[in-house]
Amino acid sequence: MAEEKYNRKNPAVKRILQEVKEMQSNPSDDFMSLPLEENIFEWQFAIRGPRDTEFEGGIYHGRIQLPAEYPFKPPAFMLLTPNGRFETQTKICLSISNHHPEHWQPSWSVRTALVALIAFMPTNPDGALGSLDYKKEERRTLAVKSREAAPKFGNAERQKLIDEIHQYMLSKAPPIPDSPQQTSDENSSTREDQQLEGESPNADIAPVIERQPNPEVNDRVVHDLREVHLNANAGPVRVSFRAGVSVSRRVPNAEDANQQSWRNNNTRAPKPADDRLFTWAAIGLTIAIVVLLLKKFLKSSGHDTVSMGGGF
């Protein structure tokens, strides 16, 4: 660095050189910033997106312009990497920037300002100058893209410093975590694959059907059976529950059919011939009663005739 170009007794130069030395001796994984060789009042920086936000894993480059009255006046900040939170190549409005000199403290440094800038990334822009309000999905996309290459800005000296800082930040930056939507899609795809593997088709098993109970074989089947698997080519019908508990029933053979027919014959209703037999029996009984009554009547009539003849 061409330190001989500057008056080391100047408070601003003295402070800047002190901060450069501290930045190089105590680097951070979250940011890196160095001044140009030919102009120590212009710094290039890169910050890492804050953890657990849509910016996580991103590498965001920017430019700091320190005033001649530094550290008694605040610096100006400009982002160079598209990020969805701040406009690029536009001086942004922050409490630590030159837009609010009333908030600046001389004890603050470039390091302090970069830590504050990282903290500002996920905050609500509230319409501040140079702010953007992209959706989280768009910011995640920009975070991924920010790692691909350093932004192009300025002359060869600036670009060389930007590229060096970018390589340093890449060596420190962890991989970008999957977004919640990607994780959900992967989990859904995994569940679908598992279901397909667990429910592979079986040529011997027919689709699940619902069987209704048969009144003629209620004594042979299990009640409340609903979903079963049937194999029509396996001989006797076999019934199994999905849980693995199985029962079976035997199709009635010829002997069982004969026994069932014999029981039905013994319990069937009387035939019409039986009805006629009872009818004739009732008619015969009625005739017998009429004959008896007629004989009694004739006998009674004959007795009365005899009595009348004896009186003459």
Q: Quick one: tokens of 103?
A: 């908030």
Q: What's the CATH number where 56 sits?
A: 3.10.110.10
**pLDDT above 70 for 13:** yes
pLDDT reported for residue 300: 78
300 given a catalytic annotation: no
In terms of domains, do 240 and 166 share one? no
Number of domain units in the chain: 2
In terms of domains, do 36 and 135 share one? yes
**pLDDT above 80 for 273:** no
pLDDT reported for residue 174: 82
pLDDT reported for residue 263: 60
265 sits in the region (left: phi over 0; alpha: psi -120 to 50; else beta) called: alpha
Please report whether residue 75 resides in a domain. yes
In terms of domains, do 233 and 156 share one? no
> What are the CA-CA distances from residue 124 to residues 1, 77, 82, 85 (Å)?
39, 18, 17, 9
In terms of domains, do 159 and 66 share one? yes
Give pLDDT tens digits for 113-143: 999 999 999 999 888 888 999 999 999 999 9
In terms of domains, do 95 and 225 share one? no
Please report whether residue 303 resides in a domain. no
**pLDDT above 60 for 40:** yes
In terms of domains, do 154 and 242 share one? no
**pLDDT above 90 for 147:** yes
> Rounded to 5 degrees, what are φ and ψ at 116?
-65, -40
pLDDT band per the 50, 70, 90 thresholds, residue 262: low
pLDDT reported for residue 162: 97
Most confident of 180-189, 237-246, 291-300: 291-300
Neighbour-count burial for 135-152, b at 16+ CB within 10 Å, e otherwise: eeeebbbbbeebbeebbe
Mean pLDDT taken over the chain: 77
Cα gap 238→206, rounded to integer Å: 12
Question: In the predicted model, what is the mean pLDDT of residues 71-83?
Answer: 96
pLDDT reported for residue 109: 96
Q: What's the domain range around 43?
A: 3-177
Please report whether residue 128 resides in a domain. yes
**pLDDT above 70 for 145:** yes
Q: Quick one: tokens of 28?
A: 């951070």
In terms of domains, do 77 and 35 share one? yes
| Catalytic entry in 41, 65, 67, 93 | 93
* CB atoms closer than 10 angstroms to residue 104: 19
Beta-bridge partners for 210? 227
Considering 122, 157, 177, which residue would you say is the last residue of a domain?
A: 177
In terms of domains, do 153 and 12 share one? yes
Counting residues of the chain whose pLDDT is more than 70, the rounded percentage is: 64
Please report whether residue 186 resides in a domain. no
pTM here is 0.58
Please report whether residue 187 resides in a domain. no
Give pLDDT tens digits for 183-242: 455 555 555 555 555 544 444 434 444 444 454 444 443 344 344 343 444 444 443 434
pLDDT band per the 50, 70, 90 thresholds, residue 279: confident
Please report whether residue 172 resides in a domain. yes
Cα gap 138→120, rounded to integer Å: 18
pLDDT reported for residue 281: 82
In terms of domains, do 164 and 16 share one? yes
In terms of domains, do 58 and 150 share one? yes
In terms of domains, do 173 and 212 share one? no
pLDDT reported for residue 133: 94
> What are the CA-CA distances from residue 158 to residues 46, 58, 74, 264 (Å)?
13, 21, 22, 107
Question: In the predicted model, what is the mean pLDDT of residues 43-67?
Answer: 96
Residue 174: which of 49, 80, 46 has the closest Cα? 49
In terms of domains, do 140 and 241 share one? no
> Using an 8 Å Cβ cutoff, are 179 and 137 in contact?
yes
Please report whether residue 297 resides in a domain. no
pLDDT reported for residue 195: 58
Please report whether residue 59 resides in a domain. yes
pLDDT band per the 50, 70, 90 thresholds, residue 181: low
